Amino acid sequence: MARSTTTRADDGVVKTEQRSHDRLIEPSLSAVDQLDADAILIGLCSDVRPLGGLLGMLDWRLCGRVSTMVERGAITGVDGEKVLFPTLGRIKVPRLFLYGWGPHAQAASRGSERVAAMIEMVKKAGGQRVVFAFPEPARGLVHLVDEVERGLGSTLVAMFAPDPLPPA
Note the pLDDT tens digit of each residue in 116-159: 999 999 999 999 999 999 999 888 899 999 999 999 999 999 99
Predicted confidence at residue 164, as pLDDT, reads: 62
* pLDDT tier for residue 13 given thresholds of 50, 70 and 90: very low
CA dist 147 and 153 (Å) reads 10
142 lies in a domain?
Answer: yes
129 lies in a domain?
Answer: yes
Count structural domains, the chain. 1
Length of the chain: 168
Higher pLDDT, 105 or 22: 105
Would you tell me how many other CB atoms lie within 10 Å of the CB of residue 90?
A: 13
pTM of the shown model: 0.84
Average pLDDT over residues 51-70: 96
Phi/psi for 147 (5° steps) reads -65, -40
Domain that holds residue 88: 2-6+36-160
